[in-house]
Amino acid sequence: MTSTRCLRVATRSSPQARAQADHIANELGAAHPAIDVQWVFVDTVGDRAVDVPLHRIGGQGVFVKEVQRAVIDGRADIAVHSAKDLPSTFTPGLTIGAYGARRDARDVLVGTTLDELAVGATVATGSVRRKALLAERRPDLQFTELRGNIATRLSKVPANGAIVMAAAALDILGMPERIGDYLDPAWFVPQVGQGAVAIECRDDDADTLGVLAMIDNQASRFAVEVERTFLAEIGSGCSLPVGAHVADGYLTAFSQAVDGVIRRGRALVEGVGDPLAVARQLAADVSR
């Protein structure tokens, strides 16, 4: 008889984070029926400081550090994150043992379509990336900050305006009908890791690494690790407008310099000798 394995799963307590973690738990249960999940819910500084723009409270990492600490301290075995929230550099003692299958990585508008936004309309978003890309295409738009969980953000659609969200967030919560417009990733380049879920564990925990290997999605791993390599080379979190997205074998990316100019690039990363080297070179090209 196979003995039951208790797996302590750390995650944020927001509805989106819990839904993502529950999906991963179901995948683990299907791959390894003897697993018994025990939840470890953690509130992060990003959850608590809901009235402060992300780039002012630390940018990337504000939604993951306390969750990671639960694993490092031994209170949990794995941490489930939105991959886009992870810093571009690894946390000592931890490794990404698995990536879930990537959902739709596109950004979307809620409230209306881009073409239907009136001249001077207000768009709510807390992302410097989203503001930069929208302002490039529609310099007439006005922007206001947007923070909070999904329900809070959906309640703050400006009159005759829109909010920007990730398609994956609305999908995991079963609310795709709220989407007014999908923004083409060819020009509205998604955030690194957007739409993917990353599962971390201690790098010396061989048993847990073996369990996670059962659900590791190789396509997601390839795409997100190429994107993360690009971001690490740029050396930026949420303070600088930057995006990177792997699809159909190509890495599409952009960076906005302090002079306000957006520089874009695209490079083949599938089937090449060293895709990570390609990502680093593209980062150098768009940050010049």
Q: Which amino acid is at 271?
A: G
Pairing of strands 197-202, 78-82: antiparallel
Q: Put the strands of the sheet holding 262-268 in their side by side order.
A: 242-247, 250-256, 262-268
114 closest CA partner among 150, 93, 95, 140: 140
Strands (E), the chain: 5-12, 35-42, 78-82, 94-99, 107-110, 122-124, 142-144, 162-166, 181-182, 197-202, 242-247, 250-256, 262-268
231 closest CA partner among 249, 251, 201, 250: 251
3-state secondary structure of 124: strand
Token couple for 253: 């990316």
Catalytic residues: 85
Q: Is the CA virtual torsion 248, 264, 64, 87 positive or negative?
A: positive
